[in-house]
Amino acid sequence: MKIRDANPVWVWDIGPGAGTYSDLMFDMHASYRTWTAVEIWEPYVERFNLRDKYDEVIIGNVMDIELPDHTTEDGLVILGDVLEHLMEDQARELIVRCKNSFRYMLVSLPIIHAPQGTVYGNPYEAHLKHWTFDEMHAAMGHCEALKGHTLGVYWWDKEING
């Protein structure tokens, strides 16, 4: 199944930042039951109007939050520009946790050395791991992947990639 064929009913956007994925997928909101944002940096909630973009906003570190079990309900988790902000072992742990909790997973991250520190006063914006395309593809396991010049995008579907 291609990403365009997926029809998740639950969406968790982990590390939504400005709410980019919510904005990009706004026309699809009606077909999804619930959009949840998990944001570690509380000032982003107001700065980017996240409560207007999501049905629920959870403030906290995803590594400390219990993920839902939406595997039987076609849940989607989005990790857009998140994994590079974690240590490698934490990123790998989060990938496994997401595979156990959601049917679909979309990952996007820089695949070049892109040093970054604090942004908008947010220390969690620092890049802790610089992934190559192949490193992340191996960490994701069997999945669809697209390699751009600076970004890698990975699509995982439990039914296909199990």
The whole-number pLDDT of residue 71 equals 65
Residues of the chain with pLDDT under 70: 1-2, 4, 27-32, 70-72
Partners of 111 in the β-ladder = none
DSSP assignment letter at 73 = T
3 state DSSP class of 4: helix
Pairing relationship of beta strands 75-80 and 10-14 according to DSSP bridges: parallel
pLDDT recorded at residue 10: 86
User: Closest Cα to residue 6, out of 101, 72, 75?
Assistant: 75
What is the phi-psi region of residue 120: left when phi exceeds 0, alpha when psi lies from -120 to 50, beta otherwise?
left
CA–CA gap between residue 142 and residue 42 (Å, rounded): 34
Specify which residues 153 forms β-bridges with. 108, 146
- The pLDDT value given to residue 31: 62
Annotation: CATH topology of 3-161: Rossmann fold (3.40.50)
Count CA within 13 A, CB hemisphere, residue 26. Answer: 6
DSSP reduced 3-state for 63: helix
Residues comprising the chain, all counted: 162
Q: Is the pTM here over 0.95, yes or no? A: no
Q: Cα 77 from chain centroid? A: 6
* Contact present, 61 and 82 (Cβ < 8 Å): no
- Would you tell me how many other CB atoms lie within 10 Å of the CB of residue 86? 21
Distances in Å between the alpha carbon of 5 and those of 86, 104, 157? 30, 11, 11
